[in-house]
Amino acid sequence: MNIPVWTYVVAATVFLMVLFLAWNHLRQRRLIRQLKDLAHSLEDSKQQIIKEQERNRRLKQEMTNNIAHELKTPVSSIRGYLEILLGDKPVEETKKQFFLERCYSQTLRLSDLINDVSLINKLEESSDLFPKEHVSLRGIAEEAVLELEEAFRSHSIKVDNKLQKSMKVYGNHALIYSIFRNLFENAILYAGECIDVVLECYKESDEMYYIHFYDTGAGVEESYLPVLFDRFLRIDEGRSRATGGTGLGLSIVKHAVLFHGGDIYVRNREEGGLEFFFSLKKK
């Protein structure tokens, strides 16, 4: 039986059409699945953005509330002293001098608070405004030690700066200074008397310096370690206010370290005291 050639052509054409339709159907299903996946991904991204916006809103609200709370005490003190000085009743010269000194002390505290808040906001929102240059880590640390020399002496604190002169990074001088300055001040204010403070580089790679800062003082309760870099954290409310701290020092340290491409970690030393491990990018 002879089958005409056109029959084979028709059969082949039908077969190819069926294959094409099947392929096109699979392709459409795959495309629909990809579109659904994309839609889910976009929805997830949207939810993440909403969550991040809400988190930022809460953080800003919290910071605003904290700033208002921190401003309340010095402003109330200044107002109270000035009301006495400007009142109808005469004030002894010795008391006048005392009240004026207290007012001045509180204005310094306000100034420090405003500067610290401004620095954190600038780091978070306009970090590109900080110029960079090649700077010496040891040299900047020595500046901070020299600036705080009297405070170290009054607390009988011995400082050992083991950073090498060759250690240089391409970074912002003021921010790196703020790292060392705030770590030293934290030790002065909270570590105790007659202690040692050590600054050293415990590891180096082609890209990073890994720095160890520690004191031999009192340390902190373990429960405070996870939140030690939080803004306005006060482990000892009365003591913090008495020493004049703004509660933003360690938060500034963390922001400055992140600005320089590093990370920071804190823990209590087994031998006693507090130790910080942080890294700074060389270039």
- Per-residue pLDDT of 158-209, as tens digits, reads 999 999 999 999 999 999 999 999 999 999 988 889 999 999 999 999 999 9
Phi and psi at 266, nearest 5°, equal -130, 150
Determine the Cα–Cα distance for residues 14 and 21; give it in Å rounded to an integer: 10
Domain boundary among 129, 147, 176: 129
One domain for residues 107 and 190: no
Task: Decide if pLDDT at 5 tops 70.
Answer: no
pLDDT digits (tens, 9 = 90+) for 98-151: 989 989 988 888 888 888 888 888 887 777 888 999 999 999 999 999 999 999
Domain boundary among 94, 129, 164: 129
Determine the Cα–Cα distance for residues 263 and 153; give it in Å rounded to an integer: 31
Decide if 87 contacts 219 (C-beta within 8 A).
Answer: no
- Of residues 150 and 228, more confidence is placed in 150
One domain for residues 71 and 179: no
Full domain range(s) for residue 7:
1-129
Phi and psi at 229, nearest 5°, equal -95, 5
* CATH code for the domain in which residue 93 is found: 1.10.287.130
Q: Are strands 133-136 and 196-204 parallel, antiparallel or unpaired?
A: unpaired
pTM of the predicted model as reported, rounded to 2 decimal places? 0.71
Determine the Cα–Cα distance for residues 12 and 132; give it in Å rounded to an integer: 72
One domain for residues 10 and 20: yes
One domain for residues 28 and 92: yes
One domain for residues 31 and 117: yes
One domain for residues 135 and 239: yes
| pLDDT value of residue 239 | 47
Question: Per-residue confidence at 236, pLDDT binned at 50, 70, 90?
Answer: low
Give the number of C-alpha atoms closer than 13 A to the C-alpha of residue 185, restricted to the C-beta side: 19
